[in-house]
Chains A and B, each alone.
Chain A
Amino acid sequence: MSELDLRTAAASAAPVRRARPSVSEIFAMAFVLFLAVATVVPGLLSSIDPNAIAARDAFQGPSPEHWFGTDESGRDVYSRVIAGTSTSLLIGVSATVIGVTLGLILGVIAGFGGRILDFSVNRTIEVLFAFPGLLLALLVIVIAGPGPVTATIAVGLSTAPGYARIIRGQLAGIRSSGYVESARVLGHGPRRILTRHILPNALAPLMVLATLGIGQAVVWASALSYLGLGAQPPSAEWGAMLSAGRTYIGTAWWLTVFPGLMIVLTTIATTILGRSLTRRTAGRR
């Protein structure tokens, strides 16, 4: 860009052009909105009681009356899928929150606690990494017994080392970054640097990561439910529904397909959102 006439150029350089959302981003937003509605006001999306049993109506295929068909007890699969949103998302989100919080604590200790703490946290992370995913979760379940709460904690714990490692790296990067250095050179104090520069810059990407993580947490949590170690029937949790429906895979495909689809779509949507957030926040850098 020519800077021979700086004063005029500056005015046009300032405004930031926002990229128009792509088709996939629109889909992702719409789906997340749908999930949000299903979580907060499920009644808006379905008027049928998800737990209303009607044995005579069992195993009906999808129809205008029952969009996703009925299950083995004649319950409406669509309204159960909707009702399951809050459970599944609650588990996914709480697990992510646990993971991120633990990761943040570990990461911050490592990032700010001096060499010895950094070293020990680093080793801790390494050790936790040696219990891959589900394995750590299963160990937690052996200790605390199965159930949705345990499953949530288990998934949260098993994702924590990943977050911790990323946060640590992020903090280290920010701490040695040019702008922190220049704030120091200007004479700003450490607390101000921490609150004005380091934390805001470390947290933004963390939120993005967390968005990406929710989808995977939902998948892992539903895997535990599927194995009978997480949420249990008749609670309308996607993994548990899937697990129950799999028995009838030959007779009633809709019992497996729809909850599975919800898990897949949720993961896809959060991934798309997380990625576009990454792109947008990265664009600033």
Chain B
Amino acid sequence: MTPGSAGSRPAQRSRGFRGIRWLLVRLGGAIFVLWAVATLTFFAIRLIPGDPAEAVLGGPGSQASQETLDQVRQDYGLDLPLAVQYLNALGRLLTGDLGTSYALKVPVSDLLGAQIGGTLVLAFTALCVAWLIALLLSVWSTGGGRVAAAVGQGIELTSAALPHFWLATVLIAIFSSTLGWLPPVSTATPAGLVLPTLTLAIPLAGFLAQVMRETLLDTLDAPFIVSARARGESERGIRLRHALRHASLPAISLSGWALGYLISGAVVVETIFARPGLGRTLLQAVTLRDVPIVTGVVLLVALVYIIMTVVTDAASRLADPRLRNAEAQP
């Protein structure tokens, strides 16, 4: 006989209370991370060689006069002690002010405010599509014998290995240049979203499908599946009611990471498909050394990422009571 290890005691406090407590702790952590990201970026940016005032005036090529430089320093508060600049920057951050772009001379928050929508639409569509592809692929490859399994694994491996920029090129060559079905340049229309979305979604789907397939296989071997079968559950019922839920759990918790991955990918994809968005803005800002924009994008992406991880963690917690219980028993 083996001793039972699951002597679960009744929860000491109500579930609701624990949920709120958890959320508060998470939010506190999120605010800390955001502050740390802001601080890190602020000081990292100071490492950039060269005079920020010169950058404002168009880089070292400007050869601006001393007075102009001084003027700019004063305008941008660059003449103050570093600590004061830092506090100013934090203070401005609290009001949502990200400073003024060096190159474009417009408020960064306005600029990014206009750009973030496009990126988020792209990233979230890609996330959903990747999820869908991964789901179908993993269900298909685990349910159709050895050939399907081998083909499925091959597809997963290959798609996970596809670099975005290459995939984009190939997709444009096939669907725009050769077949002429889809516009190669992203527009506001849904058709314009197809290729960028696919470019981002396919490699991610490869990753997700790998994870999902493994859990799906594990799950299908689990005793509770035999138990369900013993109740007379059909194969489809097994998948729908039991296996898929389990397979999607790791994928849910990966979604925070996935969003970061997608935003990274957006840098390339937005450039190739000429979609306005954070990625393209960031890339241009990097080539122009437009520090406020770079800082702004980094902060914004960090914010999105943090929100996403809190949301996915919460979703995982909701979907998987084991996580909640694990907290109760250290």
Contact = CB atoms under 8 A, between A and B. Distances in A.
Are A and B interaction partners?
A: yes
A264 B33 contact: no
A197 to B, nearest CB: 24
B165 interface: yes
B263 A264 contact: no
A131 interface: yes
Nearest to A134: B264
Given A138-B267, A142-B286, A264 B163 contact: yes
B271 A132 contact: no
Contacts, number: 121
A227 B283 contact: yes
A249 interface: yes
Contacts of A243: 165
Interface stretch (B42-50, B94-102, B320-328): B42-50
A138 B164 contact: no
A227 B158 contact: no
A133 interface: yes
B177 interface: yes
B239 interface: no
B157 A268 contact: yes
A256 interface: yes
B298 A126 contact: no
Contact of A132 (B29, B162, B172, B261): B261
A259 B160 CA distance: 17
Nearest to A132: B260
Q: Which of A142, A227, A243, A260 has the most CB of B within 10 A?
A: A142
A130 B163 contact: no
A221 B243 CA distance: 37
Interface in A139-196: 139, 141-143, 145
A142 B294 contact: yes
Interface residues of B, number: 50
Q: Which of A145, A243, A271 has the most CB of B within 10 A?
A: A271
Nearest to B166: A260
A123 B282 CA distance: 26
Interface string A228-249: 1100000000010011001001
Given A143-B44, A227-B271, A250-B177, A135 B298 contact: yes
Nearest to A270: B161
A139 B268 contact: no
B264 A219 contact: no
B36 A260 contact: no
A263 B298 contact: no
B131 interface: no
B40 A260 contact: no
Contacts of A126: 29, 33
Contacts of B260: 129, 132-133, 135
Nearest to A145: B49
A139 B268 CA distance: 15
Contact of B264 (A133, A143, A268): A133
A226 B169 CA distance: 12
A267 interface: yes
A86 to B, nearest CB: 19
B289 interface: yes
22 contacts: A123-B33, A123-B36, A127-B36, A130-B302, A132-B257, A132-B264, A134-B265, A134-B268, A138-B283, A145-B49, A223-B163, A227-B267, A229-B286, A249-B169, A256-B166, A260-B166, A260-B169, A263-B161, A263-B166, A264-B163, A265-B161, A267-B161
Interface of B: 29, 32-34, 36-37, 40-41, 44-45, 47-49, 157-158, 160-166, 169-170, 172-173, 177, 257, 259-261, 263-265, 267-268, 271, 282-283, 286-287, 289, 291, 294, 297-298, 301-302, 305-306
Interface of A: 123, 126-127, 129-135, 138-139, 141-143, 145, 215, 219, 222-223, 226-229, 239, 242-243, 246, 249-250, 253, 256, 260, 263-265, 267-268, 271-272
Given A133-B260, A135-B282, A263-B166, 10 more contacts: A123-B32, A127-B40, A132-B263, A134-B268, A135-B264, A139-B41, A215-B161, A249-B169, A256-B170, A267-B160
